[in-house]
Structure 1
Amino acid sequence: MKAYRAALLRFTDDGSAVYDEDGLLLIGPGPDGRQRVRAAGSWSALSGNFPGVAVEHLPGRLLAPGFIDLHVHFPQTDVIGSPAEGLLPWLENYTFPHEARFADPAYAQGVAQIFLDELLRHGVTTPLTFATSHPASVDALMTQAQARGMRLVAGKVLQDRHSPDGVRDETEQSLVDTEALIRRWHGTDRLGYAITPRFAPSCTEAQLRGAGELASKYPDVWIQSHVAENRDEVRWARELFPEARSYLAIYDGFGLMRERAIYAHCIHFDDDDRALMRVTGAAAAVSPTSNLFLGSGFFDYEGARRVGFRYGLASDVGGGTSFSPFHTMLAAYCVGREGQTKPGVSLSPQHLWWQHTAGAAQALGLDGTIGNLQPGAEADFLVLDPKATPLLARKVANARNLDELLFSLIVLGDDRVVERVYVDGQAASPT
């Protein structure tokens, strides 16, 4: 077993933060051999319970759960910061041409390595990510994640229409490939598979129907897609599926709304859509930097609270502008202040942090497994330096409580704050 002494951040089941200014985190193997949190709490209460265990003292540091990114595109690593008039032109001019290159397994391997190194550098220990329509892109990403011991969920994109040559797949073969990838990767080490229709307009009814059949056949895999991101996209989806009550209802009609279904954006919703999310157990991946960059709109936190459904935070790289969870949390705070049907929703620093850790784990159906530092959780955690920059050091020195400390990190923090990243109890380093 290994023990670490520093300030300690974790969360209760109701989403409240628990903070020990002088804390102890004990890591050791669980019954399955995986490294897990064995104890977490105040140093004074726990230090005498584990004689003989070496303790690494980390003065001035904060131990925190590894961040979870609920929606990110690994093939778009090199698309960050590409200028466009909006979502659909951005896809046509940048994203699709770049994703066509992932037919080359060697190219996919190279990008997968950079992508995962960049996530870890920013403190993200679990991503839910899109690959491309090429099975080789999934193999490349899974292989690289497995080598790092990471927990990762990914899937081959399904897009058999309204897509250019090079990324458009063939309906029947796309479903055969998806099932083969599920059997190859889902449940291997810490890897999971997600059935991944790109978005309803890119899929024929036959492809969506087949995806729903696979989701029924493999109920423990994830589902991921996009919905209600951009008004032009919403109109297009409604024109293509005129019998559906709403864009979101298209997915429900094909059996793609259930637990472990994550839908990115969920901006242009009404209360019936929100209720459908709640009753099916689906969750939203809130992507504020992407929504601001592409001018798509604002996630309605007030509506989500009023009706009640699961959600968590996501970078949405490469529409999103940064891998940094700190940048994402700050953008979410701004969206909460400005983009609501009832203006002025103030998201607390603790809640913002929860959305990127324990709340995101809950959205994935992995609460108690990742995103927290409570006993039994897998040992994915960060050593943060709250004084990583001169300005941050000044700000933190004047923090009077936990909210002020966390908000200082959210507003002023970046990858320099992330001093160490532990994956499955081991210090991560670029491969």
Structure 2
Amino acid sequence: MSIAPHTVQAYRASLLHFHADPAFTENAYSWHQDGLLIVEDGRIKAAGDYAALGPTLPDGVVPHDYRGQIITPGFIDTHLHYPQTDMIASPSEGLLPWLETYTFPTERRFSDPAHARATAEFFLDELTRCGTTTAVVYCTVHRESVDAFFEASEARNLRMVAGKVLMDRNCPDFLRDAEGQIGESEALINKWHKHNRSLYAITPRFAPTSSTAQLGAIAELAKAFPDTFIQTHVSENKDECSWVRELFPDSRSYLGVYDGYGLMRPRALFGHCIWLDDEDFARMAATGSAASVCPTSNLFLGSGLFDFEKADGAGVQVTLGTDVGAGTSFSMLQTMNEAYKVARLKGSHLPALRMFYLATLGAARAMDLEGTIGSFVVGAEADFIVLDPQSTPLLARRSSHCNTLEEQLFALALLGDDRAIRATYAAGAKVHERSGALA
């Protein structure tokens, strides 16, 4: 039996990836002005200077020429809702009325597999157009919504995390979980978790929509599947926090509700985390849980400002999420833009290098996927993007005056959007190329 030859591809551009958090470590990243990325069978074979790696290429392998562009690992978005794609930019006075007016009615339609699949297709197209190659995604209470999402993501061979939302109270009857929904989640875990590039997230929507009985059942499910993800919301909005205090009077804090059920652990991602106190942050650090910060959503709904400095001081793992559809953009560059402003309003500063770290290796570490995604270490999955500093007239003009890497990345974060993504690759295969881009 003959063995098919290995498939080797090479890409010449400036290369950037991280080894550590630049906020705490010197020499936290690798930058190759004239770099070469070599991919073999969908994984990273080498990344470094073109002068050193070019001569090592097998005969006949001609590098894709992206000189003048920057190749980084694909962006990782740790909090967003694919069913909310069609209700993005819906006006509301705040989180709770927004849920009642727009979110719940929109999610009702996802019992229809055809509607769910069509939405998932558009959603994934938007993600890859914006350079996002991995996302941690909320589906709806409907099993069909999960199947549709993973079917669509696996057709593109994307590394995606998703899960069925669990709710059994304080929501419309048409979305309330009937008995047996925990069993449906278990069946979905067995079907999708670690199937190809899919991973499963156990997904209580937020504490107010789960009874103590359901939270107990979720805790048992999490114990039975310790390598799954857990995703939920916490301390997003002051009214929401007050509601949780009424519903769970014996809990020390909102976060303490989840902690009391053993839902804080590695691979647990908590959306928002705006109104946490010092003890909450300490507990997050101690359990290896991560905060998914959603600045565009928090500003849109007027929920508050995340305290990056306090989280860093406690040693909490921090990631970035678009939170579509309360978030107003699929673009992680636009999310960096708003994160920078949130930090400034709280009196701290987020350098561009830190923001790019949070959207790549930082997220991979928080997800316990370092070495799999988020960097160009040998053997990592070859998910990467090509950033174009000349993608708009304004960005091109600003880029021509950049004197440092920090200035160039800052310009991309503050002025860039989907147009700055020249191309997106997943497991070494191109899954998006900007319309009109030269070959």
Q: After TM superposition, is the score higher than 0.5?
A: yes
Q: Which structure 1 residue ranges, 5 or more long, are not aligned?
A: 30-34
What root-mean-square deviation, in Å, do the aligned CA atoms of Structure 1 and Structure 2 show? 1.1
1:32 paired residue number: none
1:404 paired residue number: 407
> 1:409-428 deviations in whole A, cap 9, x for unaligned?
01111111111110110011
2:436 paired residue number: none
1:393 paired residue number: 396
Q: Which structure 2 residue ranges, 5 or more long, are not aligned?
A: 1-7, 23-27, 434-439
Q: Secondary structure at the match of 1:263?
A: strand
**Distance in 1 (alpha carbons) for counterparts of 2:362 and 2:349:** 17
Deviation at 1:51, TM superposition (A): 4.0
> 2:147 is matched with which residue: 134, 139, 142?
139
Deviation at 1:17, TM superposition (A): 2.8
Q: Is it true that 1:418 corresponds to 2:430 in the alignment? A: no
Contact preservation (8 Å) 2:20, 2:29: no
Query: Alpha carbons of 1:155 and 1:98: their partners in 2 closer, same or farther (altered >3 Å)?
Result: same
Contact preservation (8 Å) 1:213, 1:255: no
**Distance in 1 (alpha carbons) for counterparts of 2:199 and 2:297:** 25
Give the residue type in structure 2 aligned to 1:416: R
Q: Secondary structure at the match of 1:366?
A: coil
2:378 paired residue number: 375
> 1:27 is matched with which residue: 35, 39, 42?
39
Deviation at 1:134, TM superposition (A): 0.5
Give the residue type in structure 1 aligned to 2:164: K
TM-score w.r.t. structure 1 length? Answer: 0.96
Q: Secondary structure at the match of 1:187?
A: coil
Contact preservation (8 Å) 2:85, 2:324: yes
Contact preservation (8 Å) 1:11, 1:374: no
> 1:73-114 deviations in whole A, cap 9, x for unaligned?
000001110000000000000000000111111111111111
1:151 paired residue number: 159
Q: Is it true that 1:226 corresponds to 2:224 in the alignment? A: no
Q: Is it true that 1:57 corresponds to 2:86 in the alignment? A: no
Q: Secondary structure at the match of 1:420?
A: strand
1:128 paired residue number: 136
Contact preservation (8 Å) 1:241, 1:250: yes
**Distance in 2 (alpha carbons) for counterparts of 1:398 and 1:153:** 39
Deviation at 1:56, TM superposition (A): 1.8
Describe how 1:85-234 pairs up with structure 2 within 5 A: 85-170=93-178, 172-234=179-241
> 1:5 is matched with which residue: 1, 12, 30?
12
Q: Secondary structure at the match of 2:91?
A: coil
1:360 paired residue number: 363
> 1:277-330 deviations in whole A, cap 9, x for unaligned?
011110010000000000000111111011111010000000000001111001
Deviation at 1:376, TM superposition (A): 1.9
List, as ranges, runs of 4+ consecutive aligned residues in structure 1 with deviation greater than 3 Å: none
**Distance in 2 (alpha carbons) for counterparts of 1:334 and 1:384:** 22
2:350 paired residue number: 347
Deviation at 1:45, TM superposition (A): 2.3
Deviation at 1:54, TM superposition (A): 2.4
Deviation at 1:429, TM superposition (A): 4.4
User: What count of residue pairs does the alignment treat as equivalent?
Assistant: 420
Give the residue type in structure 2 aligned to 1:154: A
Contact preservation (8 Å) 2:21, 2:362: no
> 1:309 is matched with which residue: 305, 309, 316?
316
Describe how 1:209-288 pairs up with structure 2 within 5 A: 209-288=216-295
**Distance in 1 (alpha carbons) for counterparts of 2:165 and 2:21:** 34
Give the residue type in structure 2 aligned to 1:168: R
**Distance in 2 (alpha carbons) for counterparts of 1:55 and 1:247:** 52
Q: Secondary structure at the match of 1:382?
A: strand
2:78 paired residue number: 70
